[in-house]
Protein backbone atom coordinates (compact mmCIF):
# COMPACT_ATOMS: atom_id res chain seq x y z
CA UNK A 1 0.00 0.00 0.00
CA UNK A 2 1.67 3.19 -1.21
CA UNK A 3 0.94 6.51 0.39
CA UNK A 4 -1.35 8.66 -1.75
CA UNK A 5 -2.51 11.47 0.57
CA UNK A 6 -0.80 14.81 1.11
CA UNK A 7 -0.52 16.30 4.58
CA UNK A 8 -3.11 18.94 3.68
CA UNK A 9 -5.60 16.16 2.85
CA UNK A 10 -4.90 14.54 6.19
CA UNK A 11 -5.47 17.76 8.14
CA UNK A 12 -8.72 18.45 6.30
CA UNK A 13 -10.02 14.91 6.94
CA UNK A 14 -9.19 14.96 10.64
CA UNK A 15 -10.79 18.40 11.00
CA UNK A 16 -13.97 17.18 9.29
CA UNK A 17 -13.99 14.06 11.49
CA UNK A 18 -13.70 16.16 14.65
CA UNK A 19 -16.54 18.43 13.53
CA UNK A 20 -18.77 15.43 12.75
CA UNK A 21 -18.09 13.87 16.16
CA UNK A 22 -18.79 17.12 18.01
CA UNK A 23 -22.03 17.71 16.10
CA UNK A 24 -23.12 14.10 16.66
CA UNK A 25 -22.54 14.20 20.41
CA UNK A 26 -24.29 17.57 20.63
CA UNK A 27 -27.37 15.67 19.34
CA UNK A 28 -27.65 17.83 16.23
CA UNK A 29 -27.50 14.84 13.87
CA UNK A 30 -30.18 12.32 14.82
CA UNK A 31 -30.66 8.64 14.02
CA UNK A 32 -29.22 6.72 11.10
CA UNK A 33 -27.76 9.80 9.44
CA UNK A 34 -25.73 10.52 12.56
CA UNK A 35 -24.43 6.96 12.71
CA UNK A 36 -23.54 7.01 9.01
CA UNK A 37 -21.63 10.27 9.45
CA UNK A 38 -19.87 8.82 12.49
CA UNK A 39 -18.71 5.92 10.34
CA UNK A 40 -17.44 8.42 7.75
CA UNK A 41 -15.55 10.23 10.52
CA UNK A 42 -13.93 6.98 11.62
CA UNK A 43 -12.91 6.16 8.04
CA UNK A 44 -11.49 9.67 7.56
CA UNK A 45 -9.45 9.32 10.74
CA UNK A 46 -8.08 5.88 9.85
CA UNK A 47 -7.17 6.86 6.29
CA UNK A 48 -5.47 9.99 7.61
CA UNK A 49 -3.23 7.99 9.92
CA UNK A 50 -2.20 5.46 7.27
CA UNK A 51 -1.76 8.07 4.48
CA UNK A 52 -3.83 5.95 2.11
CA UNK A 53 -7.26 6.57 0.62
CA UNK A 54 -8.88 3.70 -1.31
CA UNK A 55 -11.01 6.13 -3.32
CA UNK A 56 -7.89 8.06 -4.40
CA UNK A 57 -6.34 4.74 -5.41
CA UNK A 58 -9.41 3.72 -7.43
CA UNK A 59 -9.51 7.12 -9.20
CA UNK A 60 -5.76 7.20 -9.79
CA UNK A 61 -5.19 10.27 -7.62
CA UNK A 62 -1.77 10.46 -5.99
CA UNK A 63 -1.13 13.56 -3.92
CA UNK A 64 1.74 12.21 -1.79
CA UNK A 65 5.09 13.74 -2.69
CA UNK A 66 7.99 11.76 -1.27
CA UNK A 67 10.78 13.97 0.00
CA UNK A 68 14.10 13.15 -1.57
pLDDT at 66: 66
All residues at 6 or more sequence positions from 58 whose CB lies less than 8 Å from its CB, including other chains = none
Per-domain residue ranges of the chain = 7-59
Q: What is the pLDDT along the chain (68 residues), one digit of tens a residue?
A: 788 888 899 999 999 999 999 999 999 998 999 999 999 999 999 999 998 888 887 888 777 776 65
| Cα–Cα distance for residue pair 22/9, rounded to 1 Å | 20
Please give the model's pTM, rounded to 2 decimal places.
0.82
Amino acid sequence: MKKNMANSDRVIRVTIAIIIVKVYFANLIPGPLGIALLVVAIVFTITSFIHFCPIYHFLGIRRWEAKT
